[in-house]
């Protein structure tokens, strides 16, 4: 088994300003390549902290770093890695010229007056002796470094922090000789994912114990579970010799939770909704109040969504609910904006006004204010309007958590209602 | 200086399925409390990997763990921490009864048939001797553990993974004696954040070097910079003795980049837009094509947004642009959906139809498909329609990156155009 570590240098993540996106992205790519990720470490700009987290990574086969390659003085990844691998830093003249050309072109395009930035260029072109350079997508070059000292160290891939630079440069790194050689040694393992919706985690724990009692060896399958946006995910890394065991596990889960197990191929509910809409040649339109555009945003994350998504209405104020989605004002007055009646009227209104096959209405109290004893924070009404009676439904949920989590979970509930309606309509 | 580490146990993050949210959240809280975060480590469910990442954290003052407290067998944080601190695990009978009550109530509410889950309860109630229990928000209790062995180890705070449980339980942990004592020793430091928009990172690097040349000691201010969603952020941890130096640094940045430095108090552009709208008693409405609801979602992230956001139209199809936002069909035919004319018509249409003071129109090519030599992927037209000529503007940008990044950056550009329009209107 080839094992890798990921080192994210990011004071911005350590200060809590942003969530790191590179760690999960690289981890997913490594998993797909059959490499096991042992850890992701995030450190700031202190050389001693970087040295401390590198320490337990010495025994790994591969280390990928992200960030700390900029022209500013607080960017010190290259120096830290070179020090760890005991390699000398040398100025690469060709690389320096290449970076200077890129920076000049950038500045010209932005109309910035010429200013000496040679110090920054030179810093970015100073690299460990013997390293393979990965051509920059932005201004910072990446590196692939094969250690050759007497002490055990992993092969290091050094990449810049911005995802749009890191991602194509990782693909370039994959094509280099050291990485190709490493991956050739990977054991054949399949990453399998099941997803469940509508099941408490404690119930899943119980089912897994039952599976084990029934003779399914979950340890050999490396089964892990997690909660995510109101769903449960079961991830398994299946060695070639254990495929039959995995098939038995899958059947066990299907028998135990036929209604909750909605994905056996790892597809997300968004992807399933997109496929069902596309296959059926159906269109959808959304009327959102408390989710404020998040449902539309999640559906339009997928390329090609314009073929089935007509559009949506973010009906935040009552006026807009009436004027744009056709919800009768007296309905809102009588039942309140968060009610079954208004959710249904939103779904029907947006379906008819945007001329789509399905309409979705979401209205709720995301908080922190606006709750009452009868209608507490977390109460959300959702409705689907379809061409036939059996595709038109409404339900209410009481979602836990703060504003962000209520909104996120409401989107998940809506997605599953749409999926269910499409499956019903297709039957 | 009090230094902390954060340990996230999450196979779901290591497999790349999700981004960790607890690390940044805890980091921000620690920063606010004056504690420096040395590292965030993410590991899976292997005891030996957990031991490896704990190793370099031995010298820290505080360790916070998230996750791995569930009833399933792959959750092993408590055992790992107890082993590291050399503490015995004991079953806490009261805690077991408390968890059993919570689980029963949960199951009754969900209408789940009674099933023995005692093994899970017992596991969650088995804790290190002498630990302070933090009452569960979900089913898993948290722990605050003060080490008392001969070897140096940090105070450990053990919290569950779901953010809605972790967040209130962190507040409870803060109130415990070991943490109160630790925080009493914190040095007085202020976290300061400046934000810039419209400046390349290389230019900022140049300005920072100039500041240093002008005698401002950036190292003593612990200045760090990062790029985030198309903006630059400068974070500084200012010791009490260096406040005058920070004021000088702030003045230097203001003089160097008066148009780009939009935030000196750390406020985000969304917060500024919300404040400007609220103070002026103005309302806004959005017509989004390529951003598909993301602009509305970002504005409605903030509580209280219903007082200034009328709503929005996700005008994904051309029909919806015409029927809902009033964009003349022949305008789309003549200029194409991605054009200055259509962006302006979207902004004006949504402004008049939703009866708001400001209207915003966004139309672009997010990719990966749909680009052409004249209108490549990344081209986005944005427009603002306001009550007066000087508040009505349009501009085009060519944004780098893939679909997700183009969409995210387009939202940032739109936010800054709205901010600018509101400042102009207010003047």
Residue-level pLDDT at B18: 72
With a CB-CB cutoff of 8 Å, which residues 156-185 of chain B face chain A? 161-164, 167
CB contact under 8 A, A320 and B303: no
* CATH 3.30.70.2860 domain span(s) along chain A: 189-263
Say which residues have a Cβ less than 8 Å from residue A18's Cβ, sequence separation at least 6. A10, A12, B24, B226, B228
**A228 neighbourhood in chain B, CB within 8 Å:** 12, 17-18
Low pLDDT (below 70) residues in chain A? 17, 73, 110-117, 427
Kindly report whether the peptide bond that precedes residue B87 is cis, defined as omega within 30 degrees of 0: no
pTM (two decimals):
0.78
Strands A284-288, B284-288: pairing is unpaired
Q: Tell me: the pLDDT tens digits for A231-249? A: 998 988 788 889 999 999 9
Residue-level pLDDT at A112: 62
Residue-level pLDDT at B396: 96
Cα–Cα distance for residue pair A321/B281, rounded to 1 Å: 21
Cα–Cα distance for residue pair A413/A328, rounded to 1 Å: 25
Residue-level pLDDT at B235: 84
Q: At what angle do helices A163-174 and A22-32 cross, to 10 degrees?
A: 20
Q: Give how far Cα B310 sits from Cα of A324, A351, A358, B415, B417, Å.
A: 11, 20, 24, 16, 18
pLDDT averaged over 10-residue windows placed end to end, chain B, 427 residues: 91 76 90 88 88 92 93 83 93 89 78 61 88 91 90 94 92 92 82 91 88 88 80 87 93 96 95 95 96 96 92 94 95 96 97 96 94 94 92 92 90 97 82
Cα–Cα distance for residue pair B171/A138, rounded to 1 Å: 42
* CATH 3.90.950.20 domain span(s) along chain A: 269-426
Say if CB B72 and CB B9 are below 8 A apart.
Answer: no
* CATH 3.40.980.10 domain span(s) along chain B: 3-184
**Contact with chain B for residue A318, Cβ under 8 A:** no
Cα–Cα distance for residue pair A410/A229, rounded to 1 Å: 9
**Contact with chain A for residue B325, Cβ under 8 A:** no
Q: Tell me: the pLDDT tens digits for B244-303? A: 999 999 999 999 999 999 999 999 999 999 999 999 999 999 999 999 999 999 999 999
Residue-level pLDDT at A117: 57
Say if CB B182 and CB B62 are below 8 A apart.
Answer: yes
The domain covering A269-426 belongs, at the CATH homologous superfamily level, to CinA-like (3.90.950.20)
Residue A222 DSSP code: T
Topology (CATH) of A3-184? Molybdenum Cofactor Biosythetic Enzyme; Chain A (3.40.980)
**A39 neighbourhood in chain B, CB within 8 Å:** 14, 41-44, 49, 52-53
CB contact under 8 A, A316 and B312: yes
Question: What ipTM, to 2 d.p.?
Answer: 0.76
**Contact with chain A for residue B104, Cβ under 8 A:** no
Say if CB A371 and CB A377 are below 8 A apart.
Answer: yes
**Contact with chain A for residue B393, Cβ under 8 A:** no
CB contact under 8 A, B72 and A204: yes
Topology (CATH) of A189-263? Alpha-Beta Plaits (3.30.70)
With a CB-CB cutoff of 8 Å, which residues 243-282 of chain B face chain A? none
CB contact under 8 A, A27 and B45: no
């Amino acid at each position: 088994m080839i094992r890798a570590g990921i080192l994210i240098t990011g004071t911005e993540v350590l200060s809590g300003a942003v969530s790191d996106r590179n760690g999960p992205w690289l981890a997913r790519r490594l998993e797909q390549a059959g490499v096991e990720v042992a850890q992701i470490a995030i450190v700031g700009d202190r050389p001693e902290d970087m040295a401390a987290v590198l320490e337990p990574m010495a025994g790994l086969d591969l280390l990928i770093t992200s960030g700390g390659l900029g022209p500013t003085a607080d960017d010190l990844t290259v120096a830290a890695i070179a020090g760890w691998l005991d390699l000398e830093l040398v100025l690469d003249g060709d690389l320096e010229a290449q970076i200077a050309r890129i920076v000049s072109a950038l500045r010209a395009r932005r109309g910035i007056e010429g200013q000496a930035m040679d110090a920054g260029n030179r810093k970015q072109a100073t690299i460990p002796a013997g390293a393979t350079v990965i051509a920059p997508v932005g201004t910072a070059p990446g590196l692939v470094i094969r250690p050759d000292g007497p002490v055990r160290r992993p092969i290091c891939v050094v990449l810049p922090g911005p995802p749009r630079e890191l991602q194509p440069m990782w693909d370039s790194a994959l094509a280099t000789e050291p990485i190709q050689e490493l991956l050739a040694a990977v054991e054949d393992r399949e990453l399998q994912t099941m997803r469940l919706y509508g099941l408490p985690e404690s119930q899943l724990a119980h089912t897994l114990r039952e599976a084990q009692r029934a003779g399914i060896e979950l340890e050999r399958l490396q089964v892990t579970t997690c909660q995510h946006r109101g769903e449960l995910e079961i991830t398994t890394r299946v060695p070639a010799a254990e495929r039959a065991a995995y098939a038995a596990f899958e059947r066990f889960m299907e028998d135990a939770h036929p209604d909750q197990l909605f994905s056996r191929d790892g597809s997300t509910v968004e992807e399933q909704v997109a496929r069902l809409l596309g296959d059926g040649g159906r269109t959808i339109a959304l009327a959102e109040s408390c989710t404020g555009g998040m449902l539309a945003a999640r559906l339009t994350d997928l390329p090609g969504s314009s073929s089935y998504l007509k559009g949506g209405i973010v009906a935040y104020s009552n006026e807009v609910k009436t004027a744009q989605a056709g919800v009768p004002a007296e309905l809102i007055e009588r039942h309140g904006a968060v009610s079954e009646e208004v959710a249904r009227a939103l779904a029907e209104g947006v379906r008819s006004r945007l001329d789509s096959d399905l309409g979705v209405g979401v209205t709720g109290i995301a908080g922190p204010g606006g709750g009452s004893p009868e209608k507490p924070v977390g109460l959300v009404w959702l409705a689907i309007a379809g061409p036939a009676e059996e595709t038109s439904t409404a339900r209410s949920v009481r979602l836990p958590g703060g504003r962000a989590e209520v909104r996120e979970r409401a989107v998940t509930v809506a997605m599953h209602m749409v999926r269910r309606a499409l499956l019903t309509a297709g039957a």
